[in-house]
Amino acid sequence: MPPARTHLTDLIPSKDQLREQYRDASNLHARSAIYRYATNPGVPWPRWVFDQVDPARLPPAARVLEIGCGDGALWRKNLDRMPADWRVVLADLSPGMLAAARADLPFPCVQCDAERLPFRDGSFDVVIANHMLYHVSDRPRALAEFRRALARGGRLIAATNGEDHQGAMKELINEFLGPASPLSQGMPFSLENGEAQLRPFFSHVELKRLRGELRVTDPAAVVAYVMSVTGAPEHITGPRLEELWQRVREQIAREGAFAVPTDVGLFDATV
């Protein structure tokens, strides 16, 4: 099973910086590309997430909201098996991401903040938050909004990373970015601490977890990933950038690959 198409920007301190990081899909795509080096490819992440949503557990003509939808990859990879009567709404803070989602998806797209959803109470049967809650500054407010937008018996699917996810990559980024690294602190919403944050809002919370490994053999893939992180293009330049290239080349030559353990999953929470 491959790990998520996820970000190593788990700590972006302001909405302005978040908008800049995701003004379009380019940084997301740079990070997603590295997952072609997964050692256990199995079912792609978007299809695994869809499996957990499980149409059999939803009512006919299910109303579905994905908040923080990014470029719509979850739906692009599942259009072939989505029930025809589902009513899907995609929402994101970034107009650039929504533009990418609108390009080839037939769903309404709404620009909004997770902390202030522009939907009536009980509007949805399931809300999907795929690797986005660690970006939210006021998570209790956002979770209260998710719960408000869910119908009775509705579900939140909240995907995130474990604290040790991509530890080798985080160590490399922290080394080369130093104090400017957005990854130097613990994750605000992780597989370890997420359940405690969900419990005040949901009656039942189930954790589903996946572990794996990337073995990256192309130095360019590692460098591109590092350089996609907030602050990297400004701080890793000139000789420092060449040092990064050399470090990665040497490790791959010595060990055969740049090995990156992965630890991802989701919470399935019921109102």
Could you report the per-residue pLDDT of 72-83, keeping only the tens digit for each?
999 999 999 999
SS (H, E, C) 142-190: HHHHHHHHEEEEEEEEEEEECCCCCHHHHHHHHHHHHHHCCCCCCCCCC
- Give per-residue pLDDT as tens, 104-163: 999 999 999 999 999 999 999 999 999 999 999 999 999 999 999 999 999 999 999 999
pLDDT of residue 35: 82
pTM exceeding 0.75? yes
- Could you confirm whether domain 15-165+186-214+263-270 is CATH 1.20.140.10? no
Mean pLDDT value across the chain: 89
Domain boundaries, the chain: 15-165+186-214+263-270
Distance CA 142, CA 156 (A): 12
Distances (CA, A) of 239 to 109, 143, 202, 218, 220: 43, 45, 51, 20, 17
Query: With pLDDT > 70 as the criterion, what percentage of the chain qualifies?
Result: 87
| Residue 31 binned pLDDT confidence (cut-offs 50, 70, 90) | low
pLDDT at residue 27 in the model: 56
Cα of 267 vs its chain's centroid, Å: 13
Task: Establish how many alpha carbons lie within 13 A of residue 153's alpha carbon, considering only the half-sphere containing its beta carbon.
Answer: 5
Across the range 159-179, mean pLDDT stands at: 94
Whether 1 has a pLDDT exceeding 80, the answer reads no
Q: What is the pLDDT of residue 16?
A: 55
